[in-house]
Amino acid sequence: MLSKQEYIRLSIKNNLFFQRIIKEHLFFIETNLPTVESVNISRADMLKRNFEQLLAETTFYAKWFVSEQAIKSNEFVTPYTLRAEELSAKLTGATLNTEITKAELSLFNVPSRCTTEHLEAIINDLNKRSIILVKQVIDFQNKLLFLLSECQLFITLYNEMLEHLNHESEYYLRLLESLQNKSLSKKQLCRELNFWNHIMENHAQFITGMLDPTEINLKEIAETIAKEFETLIKICLQTPEKEILNMSLEAVTEIRNFKEEATKQILSCKIKSIILPLLADHVLREANHYIRLLNTIK
């Protein structure tokens, strides 16, 4: 059973990470739909704006409960996030609330003047609204996947990428529901590792597919990394716990470094690709998040 303090702290930390991730998923959907899909574009934009509102609220309360270590992990925002947002919004014409990012970049931990009971009620309401909204996002994404399967929709995102977005949304939903039950039971190690290793594998595969055909060296690196994560998933159950944790940490550190360099190069227009700057920064933050999780487990 989580204490009130732990419930608030874990809710803030997880919402700070996942609310941004989900709202960016919606930005990617919005900007990859053709203009004929005006209804679905509007729906994605509305859901994105609703998540931005939740993220703005979470950011306001984060200064009291997010540690300096978590802030410095660069899983919430990176030194590249603001520029990636500004450039991606300019290139696509879609909106992004960069004021939230500026607030997150200036986050630092300060003592709270509010009572635990008061904050618990606020966070409880925030989690409830997040649950309602993420369910709407999952329904929306499932609708798009169904239309794709019936050849009634065109979108410049891979089917597998839409599935990938849904897996992350469902993971966030399960996390919120556990928090609302005030109980975060210990997860089966390989199930947790395989989830994130599959996410990292997907990222490497998507990067391979979105790089220009002339970027042969980068494609080869991404393909090699994808195979490393595929292997980790296959051997997890047969590998000692300490060893699989170290192997996963080594692999995700490798892909994090690759993503960080790619993000810098994409922002400088030195890589030929169809990767939006914000997508590059997005997958970098997910790698940073996984690294922190692994260090916590170890």
Q: What is the pLDDT along the chain (298 residues), one digit of tens a residue?
A: 889 889 999 999 999 999 999 999 999 999 999 999 999 999 999 999 999 999 999 999 998 888 888 899 999 999 999 999 999 999 999 999 999 999 999 987 666 656 678 899 999 999 999 999 999 999 999 999 999 999 999 999 999 999 999 999 999 999 999 999 988 777 789 999 999 999 999 999 999 999 999 999 999 999 999 999 999 999 999 999 999 999 999 999 999 999 999 999 999 999 999 999 999 999 999 999 999 999 988 7
Please measure the distance between the N-terminal and C-terminal CA atoms of the chain and give it in whole angstroms: 22
- The whole-number pLDDT of residue 110 equals 65
CB neighbours of 229 closer than 8 A, spacing ≥ 6? 197, 198, 200, 201, 204, 251, 255
Q: Is 189 helix (H, G, I), strand (E, B) or coil?
A: helix
10 Å CB burial of residue 106 (0-12, 13-18, 19+) is exposed
3-class state of residue 273 by DSSP: strand
The domain spans of the chain are 1-179, 186-298
Global pTM value: 0.96
Residue 129, number of CB atoms within 10 A of its CB: 14
Q: Are 64 and 112 in contact (CB under 8 A)?
A: yes
User: How buried is 63 (Cβ within 10 angstroms: 0-12 exposed, 13-18 middle, 19+ buried)?
Assistant: middle
The predicted pLDDT at position 116 comes to 74
Q: Which fold, 186-298? A: Ferritin (1.20.1260)
User: In angstroms, rounded to a whole number, what is the distance separating the alpha carbons of residues 260 and 106?
Assistant: 21
For residue 166, the one-letter residue type is N
Bridge partners of residue 211, in order along the sequence: 273
**Residue 121 pLDDT:** 94
Q: How far is CA 210 from CA 47, 66, 224, in A?
A: 26, 35, 16
How many beta carbons lie within 10 A of that of residue 234, not counting itself? 12
The SS3 call for residue 215 is: coil
Residue 108: what pLDDT?
78
Sequence-ordered list of residues with C-beta below 8 angstroms from that of 246, at least 6 positions apart, any chain: 298
CA 53 to chain centre: 17
Going by the DSSP 8-state scheme, the letter that residue 33 receives in this structure is: S
